[in-house]
A and B are shown apart, each in its own frame.
Chain A
């Protein structure tokens, strides 16, 4: 072997590390994605089911038909709501544990992670017990005379949103907690030393330095809620349709495979665009991180 080929071999050997991942991802993820995109260009036919074609008709329909537009509006609205509420709930909690839960921090982080290990189905049934007309929450509120008639939460948008906020809260807490615990104690002290009140320290130091965490928190919860299937299906209302169950219905009930593929591609494009946009947003909001 000549020295030249040995050197070029050495240059390629690091790529061996990604071979196992590539072996799984290429045939089982990337290839189906390509097929999905190809299917979205086909045509659905009531008699012949999916007809091979090369048309944008499904995209035009998905982006102009009021039925589909309502679907997107519902989904994006619900996902936005979940992302913002989960992040708002997570922010003070993350601040608290990053600053004050020094010795119990392992336990607290474990408690935050814990629900992620419990099957989402189990958690959904838990919420059904809590939210039902005769459930825990209503029983309590009725007993305390806060209500005369039970609140209808289950099988409504309300119940679905509550379940989603709960489901995605850990994904909001962890990036925020991570961002905040990286802020050195000395910066808090420096800010106070220069005359900032405790709330000034949060406004001037903690908040700007946690912006990357906020963006990741919004991103994860938004993407999660946007593509959620189980919660809209089990806790939600048939009058408030969400994208993921709708794709399932297109493919199974309506046998419109091409339309289902189209909606799936649109969801994917939307999430990719969102990730790109938030990456750009972080860069703009945190110029100090990339300054050289």
Chain B
């Protein structure tokens, strides 16, 4: 099936500083892709090039089979929801929604029926005569989405569209919008620095670092099988440990924390004696009261136990190394307390070799 959007090796620099470097991306009809990365990673620039607010230095962008690389923004059919919503303050909600169909030359009747259709979808029919200044944050976001959808765009672009909302409202809106976009089959690109938002909405996540797409995969794949150290570090909370390739009981092992931790199930390609950095996610470490396979002696000491609602986060100290462990909150009653001596039980399937150098 043809792609709705295809971005081919697009690059953009500003005053000699590369913002986006040879990014490629394809979007199937009805697919939702998140561009996820820290601020300054180029995700917004990439989105702006798709919307037509920036012209790529090189590369090609096609939307609905048509080359739009240099097409002015107003001739593209890419509906954008802006970070601060960018509702027209001098127009009522109705006029905001009607604006797109109107300037695109739709007949008044068509424009009106589109407006009432999207107002129903976003459940803002009761707000049509208000000005944006009279709306709450959540209502503004609904209007912004309705306005973008009223033009029947080929693709919807969400630029940090949830970041202005309170947390509870944000999650509600994410669920509602996710259901709506899937029901309508609207191809969407969302830009976010919030991994929860990316996971909540996207079919695929493109993790961006320094202008490049490091990995583009299904949410569980980018989380569980990160292809670069950056992807691993950016998603979830993780521990970094310096390790060397050695052996334990005659089997090759990764030895960390001065040999106190031995990981035997890892496939180790490097020769014995190599220094590496390994990453273990917080939820890949459990704190046990008895010695474990990976941690047989010199226990760590629990320094901090934090109840986070769904999870408990514990910090244990092993010599000068701090270890973060995160477990489900159901075990709160039985989990270690501050001052307890504990052994690390490590889920080795979640251990990643990040680097061939020693952790800083």
Contact = CB atoms under 8 A, between A and B. Distances in A.
Contact of A288 (B76, B80, B83, B90): B90
B240 interface: no
A209 B132 CA distance: 14
Contact of A193 (B80, B84, B89): B80
B151 interface: yes
Interface residues of A, number: 23
Contacts of B91: 288
Interface string A252-292: 00000000000000000000000000000000001110011
Given A204-B103, A291-B134, A192 B90 contact: no
Nearest to A190: B86
Interface string B79-112: 1101110111111000000011001100000000
Contact of B51 (A193, A197, A200, A205): A193
Contacts of A197: 74, 103
Contact of B151 (A187, A194, A200): A194
A184 B53 CA distance: 15
A196 interface: yes
A288 B82 contact: no
Between A194, A197, A198, A204, the greatest number of chain B beta carbons within 10 A of the residue's beta carbon is seen for: A194
A187 B89 CA distance: 9
A197 B52 CA distance: 13
Contacts, number: 79
A288 B88 CA distance: 10
B103 A200 contact: yes
B133 A291 contact: yes
B84 A186 contact: yes
A192 B84 contact: no
A190 B151 contact: no
B131 A291 contact: yes
Nearest to B51: A193
Contacts of A208: 90
A109 B168 CA distance: 45
B265 interface: no
Nearest to A183: B89
B79 A193 contact: yes
A205 B86 CA distance: 11
Interface string A155-198: 00000000000000000000000000000101101111111111
A291 B130 contact: yes
A189 B80 contact: yes
Interface in A199-255: 200, 204-205, 208-209
Contact of B74 (A195, A205, A209, A286): A195
Contacts of B212: none
A200 B88 CA distance: 14
B90 A194 contact: no
Contact of B86 (A187, A204, A292): A187
Interface in B10-24: none
A193 B88 CA distance: 13
B73 interface: yes
Between A191, A192, A292, the greatest number of chain B beta carbons within 10 A of the residue's beta carbon is seen for: A192
B84 A189 contact: no
B100 A195 contact: yes
B147 interface: yes
Contacts of B285: none
Given A195-B151, A209-B90, A190 B80 contact: yes
Given A184-B86, A192-B73, A208-B90, A288 B133 contact: yes
B78 A193 contact: yes
A190 B131 contact: no
B103 A196 contact: yes
A107 B151 CA distance: 42
Nearest to B92: A288
Nearest to A194: B100
Contacts of B73: 189, 192-193
Contacts of A204: 88, 99, 103
Between A190, A208, A286, A292, the greatest number of chain B beta carbons within 10 A of the residue's beta carbon is seen for: A190
B82 A190 contact: yes
Contacts of A192: 52-53, 72-74
A110 B346 CA distance: 66
Contacts of A190: 80, 82, 86-88
Nearest to A196: B103
B100 A189 contact: no
Contact of A189 (B53, B133, B134): B53
Nearest to B73: A192
B134 A292 contact: yes
Given A195-B151, A196-B103, A200-B103, A189 B86 contact: yes
Interface in B135-174: 147-148, 151
A292 B135 CA distance: 10
B157 to A, nearest CB: 8
A15 B75 CA distance: 58
A286 B84 CA distance: 22
A193 B155 CA distance: 12
A287 B92 CA distance: 10
B103 A194 contact: yes
9 contacts: A190-B88, A192-B72, A193-B79, A194-B148, A195-B74, A195-B100, A195-B151, A291-B131, A291-B134
Given A190-B87, A200-B74, A288-B133, 13 more contacts: A184-B84, A190-B82, A190-B86, A191-B99, A193-B51, A194-B79, A194-B103, A195-B74, A196-B99, A198-B74, A200-B103, A204-B103, A286-B90
**Cβ-closest 4 pairs across A and B:** A194-B100, A186-B86, A190-B86, A195-B104
